[in-house]
Amino acid sequence: MNNRDCLSHRNTMFFNAFDRLMQGKETPEYVHYRAQKRKRMIKKLRRST
């Protein structure tokens, strides 16, 4: 699996979550997903500095 495939898969996941948010369904899951993403990014930043 090359990098672009991985990226498009991640985008698909994001857009699916976004669709659910727009429909007003499963909003807590989307919020949780966003929080996990932020935590992961913070971890990466901490490791790099």
What residues make up the domain containing 16?
Answer: 3-48
Please state the domain count of the chain. Answer: 1
pLDDT at position 1, please? 45
CA distances from 31 to 3, 13, 16, 28, 44 (A): 26, 14, 13, 5, 20
SS3 44: helix
Tokens representing residue 42 in the block: 């913070």
Measure the CA–CA gap between 26 and 21, rounded to whole angstroms. Answer: 7
1-49 confidence digits (pLDDT tens): 455 665 676 777 777 777 776 676 556 776 788 888 889 988 888 887 6
